[in-house]
C-alpha cells in the first residue's frame, strides 16, 4: 500500500504537464515505481490527462456535449471526498421523491396522514404516533385521538395546515377528515406544488455543488490547475445528472397528477 501511495504522489505534476504530454506520449511513472508492473501510474494518466483536451475539442463542435470526466475518488481523497458529494446529491433526490410520494397524491389515503407532524407541549410527533388513522369510507378518514386526547386540537391544526387541501372536523377525541373531490383545479394545484418542490430541491443541489467546488478551490495553490479544473468539471457533471433526474421525476409526477 505504501508503495502504491508513493506512486500516486507525482500525479499532480503529471497533470500540470498534460498539455505537453498529450503531444509527446503519456508520461512514464518514476523508474523506482513498482506500479509499472501493474501499469498503475500509466493507467491513471490515460484516464485523466486526455480529459481536458478531449472536452475542448468536442466543445468546438456546435451542439456536441463535452467529454465526460470520471476521476477516481481514491486519487483525490486528500482534496475532496467525491463519494460524499455524490451521496449528498442523491439525498436531495431521495428527499424530493419522499415529498412527492407523501404529500402530492390525487387520492388521499390513511397512509398520507401518517407523517404529518403535530406540535404538542412535549415536542413534535408524527400523527400516527398520537392517533389511530383509518378509512371510514372513500370520502371520509377518521383519526381516533383517545390515547392522547390533549393533543386533539393540535392534530387537527396540523392536518389543516399540511397543504393537502384537508378540512378536519373535531368531535370530542375523534377527528373526521373529509376527502375532497378530485377536481381539475385541485390536480393543477398539486402539479404547481410539485414544480415548487422540485425548484427547492434544485436550490439545495446547487448548495451541495457550491460547497464542494469551494472545498476544491482551497487546494489551488497546492495542486495543478488541471487537477482543479477536472474536479470542478466532475462536480458540475454530477450536479447536472442529479438535476436531470429531478426533471424526470417531476415529469412523471406531473403526468400522474394531471391525468
- Domain segments of the chain as ranges: 73-103+183-258, 109-178
Q: Is domain 109-178 annotated with CATH 3.30.1360.40?
A: yes
Region 17-31: mean pLDDT is: 40
Percent of the chain scoring above 70 in pLDDT: 73
Region 40-53: mean pLDDT is: 42
* pTM higher than the cut 0.85: no
Residue 184 has pLDDT above 80, yes or no: yes
Percent of the chain scoring above 90 in pLDDT: 50
SS (H, E, C) the chain: CHHHHHHHCCHHHHHHCHHHHHHHCCCCCCCCCHHHHHCHHHHHHHHHCHHHHHHHHHHHCCCCCCCCCCCCHHHHCCCCCHHHHHHHHHHHHHHHHHHHHHHCCCCCCHHHHCCCEEEECCEEEEHHHHCEEEEEECCEEEEECCCCHHHHHHHHHHHHCCCCCCCCEEECCEEEEECCCCCHHHHHHHHHHHHHHHHHHHHHHHHHHHHHHHHHHCCCCCCCHHHHHHHHHHHHHHHHHHHHHHHHHHHHHHHHHHC
The topology under which CATH files domain 73-103+183-258 is: Topoisomerase I; Chain A, domain 4 (1.10.132)
Amino acid at each position: 500500500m505504501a508503495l502504491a501511495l508513493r506512486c500516486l504522489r507525482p500525479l499532480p505534476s503529471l497533470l500540470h504537464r498534460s498539455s505537453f504530454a498529450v503531444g509527446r506520449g503519456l508520461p512514464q511513472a518514476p523508474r523506482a515505481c513498482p506500479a509499472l508492473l501493474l501499469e498503475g501510474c500509466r493507467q491513471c494518466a490515460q484516464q485523466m490527462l486526455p480529459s481536458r483536451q478531449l472536452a475542448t475539442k468536442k466543445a468546438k463542435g456546435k451542439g456536441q456535449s463535452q467529454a465526460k470526466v470520471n476521476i477516481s475518488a481514491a486519487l483525490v481523497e486528500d482534496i475532496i471526498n467525491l463519494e460524499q458529494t455524490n451521496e449528498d446529491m442523491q439525498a436531495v433526490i431521495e428527499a424530493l421523491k419522499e415529498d412527492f410520494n407523501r404529500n402530492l397524491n390525487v387520492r388521499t389515503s390513511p397512509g398520507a396522514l401518517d407523517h404529518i407532524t403535530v406540535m404538542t407541549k412535549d415536542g413534535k410527533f408524527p400523527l400516527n404516533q398520537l392517533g389511530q388513522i383509518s378509512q371510514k369510507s372513500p370520502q371520509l378518514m377518521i383519526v381516533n385521538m383517545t390515547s392522547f386526547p390533549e393533543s386533539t386540537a393540535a392534530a387537527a391544526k396540523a392536518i389543516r395546515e399540511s397543504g393537502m387541501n384537508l378540512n378536519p372536523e373535531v368531535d370530542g377525541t375523534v377527528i373526521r377528515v373529509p376527502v375532497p373531490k378530485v377536481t381539475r383545479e385541485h390536480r393543477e394545484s398539486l402539479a404547481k406544488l410539485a414544480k415548487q418542490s422540485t425548484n427547492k430541491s434544485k436550490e439545495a443541489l446547487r448548495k451541495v455543488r457550491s460547497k464542494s467546488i469551494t472545498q476544491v478551490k482551497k487546494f489551488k495553490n497546492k495542486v495543478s490547475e488541471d487537477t482543479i479544473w477536472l474536479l470542478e468539471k466532475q462536480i458540475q457533471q454530477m450536479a447536472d445528472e442529479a438535476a436531470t433526474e429531478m426533471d424526470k421525476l417531476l415529469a412523471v409526477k406531473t403526468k400522474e397528477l394531471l391525468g
